[in-house]
Chains A and B, each alone.
Chain A
């Protein structure tokens, strides 16, 4: 077990390093001089040379590369070209917004996807139930999240006026209240702030959650199909257990194990989804920050955002592999 975990970590480190190298070198071939981007076309040669020196771009590429790796490990991504302040600060401010979006869409995806998957597997011989459910799943899989988002906005924000059109609510305020204890001294204000955040979160979470639910339902379906053909299910039935108990007590718990493995995949898909979802709903977050920074040619910010995205995915996958080994002792490293 320990050996398995160690080997997974050993594999993850070069992967992280490689992914970060890809980010670094791609950012270096981007068109346009970052200094021109900061100072404008009219800047004098001296000013540009000064800027190049300040950003450390005059150093050999290898030195810049090692420097980037070393700083990234310490979460130091330099300063944003447009905003001036440190990229890490910006990322720290945006991260909670993306985190709540990913978590809430995961809840939506699980609430929609798992029941659909289970029912679809159990009723696979009755086409009137299985087929419509599989079609819903297929639609969810084929529907681009940005389109679903726009449709939701048209109906619920513009026509029915139930949900806000843009923004993410005062999440910073909620976090602040939690930190300084105001959440407990004036719970009414706190609940109002949380309500506001949820109000802003509802449509984005629904849009992203629905598109993710498709993946969850298909995996739940195949996990359930696999589990109900096992011997222990036959044993449970042979013991005379009622079908409901067989499904909920025996099958459901066991199908959750294979579902665990997809958390890693899920996080990757959800993070990509946040790029599109946050853009559609004009919500603050890492994804929107990435798109905006590319548009503004703010390379340190873009580089920081992509590095953080990659780090999250690799670390989550590592964590899931370990969790999986803990939950299912039959797994050994090949």
Chain B
């Protein structure tokens, strides 16, 4: 490919914080505030999902016949209102965090686990193997993430495992490309030559030298892909292809609420807000980490 994508252009070998030593308090604040807020939001989300049974005020599937389509606070026990079956929206959103985060984290883990070794292999070995790996990745890249995930989920059916796999596969080529471009830079470094000269085998060089040096940049991008994965999961559920109801996911709560936007806009509003905040949290962290890593993007 003639044109490198922006995510591929992370620059290694640049001192991380050149001016860090004489940075003003405001400068520190500006630099660390977004990442702090992002991490705080992400951690809160993970705690919420993990402790859903303890935190959720009511059961996500319990139906209250006296409170069908009630607005936020109309009935005291339903802080964010109820849906058409009299289920508590707040509890459903808290439980829905489980699906979103599980899919978000697990699918990125999948993409990382499959994509990074392939990319490093391609970048370090080169030759026909590189061509084969990169052409396969390009082929998958021809599909936008959502479209590819949509095809796979349609073929396999909408379960949690299938959704993770579908989004994982859709993200894999991104990791392959990034890992390859990082490996291409790293393999030219003197320490790689030194490791080879010391008799390090190819596998050892890849695992002990190339991978650790690429890890930083890979983790940054992985954080951004968690945001993509969460948004993709929500989109699939919204299109009715994700985890089927009654299991709550943010996308299917929003999709079910669509029919009631006239009378009861709270269903779609709060579930959409949850999706946005989750995506925002990981975008904030990933963005701030990337700015820290790549001084060129800061424009300073």
Binding site for B on A (CB under 8 A): 4, 8, 11, 14-16, 18-19, 22-23, 26-27, 29-31, 121, 124, 127, 131, 138-139, 141-144, 146-147, 150-151, 153-154, 158, 219, 222, 225-226, 229, 261, 265, 268-269, 271-272, 275-276, 279-280, 290-291, 294-295, 302, 306, 309-310, 313-314, 321, 324-325, 331-334
Interface positions, chain B 242-299, Cβ under 8 Å from A, are 254, 258, 261-262, 265, 268-269, 272-273, 275-277, 279-280, 283-284, 287, 296-297, 299
Interface positions, chain B 202-235, Cβ under 8 Å from A, are 227, 231, 234-235
Q: A19-B143, A124-B299, A154-B261 are in contact. Are A321 and B5 (CB under 8 A)?
A: no
A26 touches B2 (CB 8 A): no
B299 touches A121 (CB 8 A): yes
A276 touches B238 (CB 8 A): yes
B35 to chain A, nearest CB (A): 13
A139 to chain B, nearest CB (A): 7
Interface centre among B3, B135, B261 (most CB of A within 10 A): B3
B144 touches A142 (CB 8 A): no
What is the number of contacts between chain A and chain B, taking CB atoms within 8 Å? 143
Query: Which stretch of B64-72, B81-89, B151-159 is in the interface?
Result: B151-159
* Any A CB within 8 A of the CB of B121: no
Contact residues of B: prevailing secondary structure = helix
* Any A CB within 8 A of the CB of B128: no
Q: A19-B139, A271-B144, A272-B147 are in contact. Are A144 and B3 (CB under 8 A)?
A: no
B154 surroundings in chain A (CB, below 8 A) = 26, 30, 294, 302
* Any A CB within 8 A of the CB of B22: no
* Any A CB within 8 A of the CB of B6: yes
Q: A138-B283, A147-B275, A294-B154 are in contact. Are A16 and B142 (CB under 8 A)?
A: yes
A279 touches B2 (CB 8 A): no
B258 surroundings in chain A (CB, below 8 A) = 150, 280
A268 touches B144 (CB 8 A): yes
Q: How large is the interface on B (under 10, 10 to 19, 20 to 34, 35 or more residues)?
A: 35 or more
A18 surroundings in chain B (CB, below 8 A) = 135-136, 139, 142
A271 surroundings in chain B (CB, below 8 A) = 144, 147
Interface positions, chain B 89-139, Cβ under 8 Å from A, are 135-136, 138-139
User: Which chain B residue lies CB-closest to A146?
Assistant: B238
The residue that B3 contacts in the complex, of A121, A261, A302, A332, with Cβ under 8 A, is A261
B283 touches A141 (CB 8 A): yes
29 contacts between A and B (CB under 8 A): A18-B136, A19-B142, A22-B140, A127-B30, A138-B283, A142-B280, A142-B283, A143-B276, A143-B279, A144-B231, A144-B238, A144-B276, A146-B238, A147-B276, A150-B254, A151-B269, A154-B261, A154-B269, A222-B6, A222-B299, A226-B296, A275-B239, A291-B240, A295-B240, A306-B147, A313-B143, A321-B2, A325-B2, A334-B2
B279 touches A142 (CB 8 A): yes
What's the Cα separation between A139 and B234 when bound, in Å?
16
